[in-house]
Structure 1
Amino acid sequence: MPVDRLGTRDVAVRSLALVGALHRPVTLTVTDLRGGWEQHRAEVTFDCAKEGPQHHTFEGPLLREVVADAGPAFDVRRRKDRSRFLLAVTGGDGHHAVLSWAEIDADFGDAPVLLATRMDGRPLEPDGSQLVMPRDRCGARYVSSITRVWVGAAPVPPYTGG
């Protein structure tokens, strides 16, 4: 069983649930993320509204690879189908960020977005993984202690006749 940082008592290990339009929804821990996919490294600098400039090195799997293994409910052969999907990533504090599948898809933006399992060499258990947006200059989409990644099609905007 997990123990706290002092090794004195049991603590809950945070997990993230991959939910929504997926053929194989799944719940994963940081340990699962570290063991199930290739780990990528990103050295990042971003501006944090509360703490100013931040410089960190993160390691973890690519978000697109983890979600792809859960089987998004789109036709992978159709780029237009893939371009309509969104991901909403929610953290333990309720903060959430939205990405488009096209941002992370290798045929579109190919952004190397990570579900970090380590920050500056420190494992992120039991707090949970962190969303890392290496191309973002501000830290608003760096979601900590991820609890949920929702995947789904964007709604069609209503036609207004213009």
Structure 2
Amino acid sequence: MIRILALVATLALAFPAAAQELTVVGLDGKAKVLKAADFAGFPRAEVAVPQDKGSKTYEGPILAYVLRAGGLPVGPRLHGDPLRAFVIVTGADGFQAVFSLAELDKDYHDGTVVLGDKVDGQALPAKEGPWRLAVSGDKKRWRSVFGVTRIEARLSDAPAAKPAPAMDHAH
């Protein structure tokens, strides 16, 4: 009986730790698993997210630093082909939202995007945690993915637009 209780206790301790992991998949397809402790030194910010009545303020690490830790090009490294990249943020319930990589980078976009671990000064409720994506400037909260477990970057494979034919201005 003691062995069974010890096993149950061990499993109970293991599940919250697993829930505190975030997988970031880079443009090269390589996945990196980040833990909550990895975010400890990242700059933090607050973002107000509109609700049906009023708003909620989410606080957490600025997403660009999380993306950098996961191997994605941000800041000065975000140029050339990576400007064609998009990011899929997935929650524990399977909900996904899509962003351009540049849209998530403070060097390209005025808005702030955080991986919130607090709401209105308190820890996130269990159904929203361990992290909730919060995007400033969005008029609706629909891209505010909760229970974020995975962030995957991909390059757009859309063919380049053909240049418009030269205009003949000779009349």
TM-score, length-scaled by structure 2: 0.71
Asked if residue 40 in structure 1 is aligned to residue 45 in structure 2, the reply is yes
Structure 1 equivalent of residue 27 of structure 2: 21
Match of 2:158 among 148, 156, 159: 156
Counterparts of 1:77 and 1:18, CA distance in 2:
17
Identity %: 28
- Alignment root-mean-square deviation, CA: 3.0
Counterparts of 1:143 and 1:26, CA distance in 2:
20
Match of 1:147 among 143, 146, 149: 149
Counterparts of 2:28 and 2:105, CA distance in 1:
16
Larger RCO (alpha carbons 8 Å, 6+ apart)? 1
TM-score, length-scaled by structure 1: 0.74
Counterparts of 2:77 and 2:35, CA distance in 1:
30
Report deviation, 1:30: 3.8
Note the residue ranges of structure 1 that are not aligned, 5 or more in a row: 1-8
Structure 1 equivalent of residue 106 of structure 2: 106
Higher-Rg structure is: 2
AA at the equivalent of 1:139? R
Structure 2 equivalent of residue 5 of structure 1: none
Displacement over 4 Å in runs of 4+ = 73-78, 158-162
Note the residue ranges of structure 2 that are not aligned, 5 or more in a row: 1-10, 165-171
